[in-house]
Amino acid sequence: MSDIAPTPVVRLSDAAIRRRMLAEFWFYFRQNRGAVAGLFVFILLVLIAVFAPLLAPHDPTMQYRDALLVPPAWQEGGRAAFPLGTDAVGRDMLSRLIYGAQYSLFIGIVVVAIALIGGVILGLLAGYFGGWVDTVIMRVMDVILAFPSLLLALVLVAVLGPGLTNAMIAIAIVYQPHFARLTRAAVMSEMKREYVTAARVAGAGNLRLMFKTILPNCLAPLIVQATLSFSSAVLDSAALGFLGMGAQPPAPEWGTMLAEAREFILRAWWVVTFPGLAILISVLAINLMGDGLRDALDPKLKRS
């Protein structure tokens, strides 16, 4: 005769489970000081982009003809009206940098969204169906990966025509094989699990199995890859802008600003330094965040 009372079954609501998972995630993410700093800078960047019209002292494309290449305010010859100076046609650097944040975030979001959706669908199809579907999709991905990414993006933009939209499409096409490969690998390992078999026996159809049963369990590596792709997208789109194939002047995109500033590098250091610094800080913040996300989401690294 046992006198041990049966343990009461604690039933957690879905929301409570989600809250617990989030709390656990935040616990691991917080361990990484760099990641928290990166997150902070990233939030700041988002705020700057959203409130750009309020923050910017001038219109980003307004040319002040009496203020060409004015140095930053703290330097001799600087003016208080232009804290970070002006460029060769008299546009306020600070305002252009603030508006540039909109471009970078927009590019990052669009590129990652296209690459993620395309890559996940292709990866799911390849991993789930296997056989010739898998072979065809993955061979095509291999071909795309065989090209150096920036070169392929450049040539695609040359075909589609220079411009921001085409640059984003090109970069997304170049990035999506990474998502397809990751999804495929995750799907293939999940397919062997009992819960998938159980769902199949219970009568779940292909689409439900793919998107509702398997996909949510493959998300961790995809989130990490999405963060890394976000920073690469900001970097590559700036590179395309710098090469004259991305956003076109007078757009205050940071890479395009650098391209316009090139001829003044030995005369006006500020027109070159600030846009690049803005790119570096944004990319670094996102990469720091990505490192933290990987540590927090990858159970293999958690224990070490």
Nearest by Cα to 57 from 28, 20, 86, 88: 86
Residues 28-47, mask of contacts with other proteins (x by CB under 8 A): ------x-------------
Q: Of 21 and 265, which has the nearer Cβ to other proteins? A: 265
Q: Is-contact 70 79, C-beta < 8 A? A: yes
Q: Is-contact 186 223, C-beta < 8 A? A: no
Number of residues that bind other proteins (CB under 8 A): 43
**2-27 burial: b if 16+ Cβ within 10 Å, else e:** eeeeeeeeeeeeeeeeeeeeeeeeee
- Give, as ranges, the residues between 169 and 228 that touch other proteins (CB under 8 A): none
Nearest by Cα to 253 from 44, 39, 56, 60: 60
- Interface residue with other proteins among 152, 185, 219, 223 (CB under 8 A) is 152
Q: Of 219 and 243, which has the nearer Cβ to other proteins? A: 243
Q: Which stretch binds other proteins (CB under 8 A): 50-58, 60-68, 115-123, 134-142?
A: 134-142
| Residue 62 interacts with other proteins (CB under 8 A): yes or no | no
- Interface residue with other proteins among 5, 9, 146, 201 (CB under 8 A) is 146
Torsion angle in degrees (nearest 10) through CA of 190, 194, 197, 198:
-130
Q: Which stretch binds other proteins (CB under 8 A): 47-55, 104-112, 149-157, 193-201?
A: 149-157
| Residue 111 interacts with other proteins (CB under 8 A): yes or no | no
Reading the block at residue 130, the tokens are 């296997």
Nearest by Cα to 127 from 226, 208, 210: 210
**DSSP letters for 259-302:** HHHGGGTTT-HHHHHHHHHHHHHHHHHHHHHHHHHHHHH-HHHH
CA distance 119 to 182: 9
CA distance 114 to 171: 10
| Residue 155 interacts with other proteins (CB under 8 A): yes or no | yes
Q: Which stretch binds other proteins (CB under 8 A): 79-87, 90-98, 188-196, 278-286?
A: 278-286
Q: Is-contact 122 176, C-beta < 8 A? A: yes
Q: Of 10 and 159, which has the nearer Cβ to other proteins? A: 159
CB of 3 to other proteins, least distance (A): 46
- Interface residue with other proteins among 22, 158, 198, 207 (CB under 8 A) is 158
| Residue 12 interacts with other proteins (CB under 8 A): yes or no | no
| Half-sphere CA count of 229, side-chain side, radius 13 A | 28
CB of 177 to other proteins, least distance (A): 12
- Interface residue with other proteins among 182, 222, 238, 296 (CB under 8 A) is 238
| Residue 55 interacts with other proteins (CB under 8 A): yes or no | no
Q: Which stretch binds other proteins (CB under 8 A): 5-13, 19-27, 99-107, 267-275?
A: 267-275
Q: Token match 């935040």: residue? A: 26
Question: Maximum CA pair distance of the chain?
Answer: 97
Name the site residues for other proteins (rule: CB under 8 A): 34, 139-140, 142-143, 146-152, 154-155, 158-159, 161, 231, 235, 238-239, 242-245, 255, 258, 262, 265-266, 269, 272-273, 275-276, 279-280, 283-284, 287-288, 291, 304
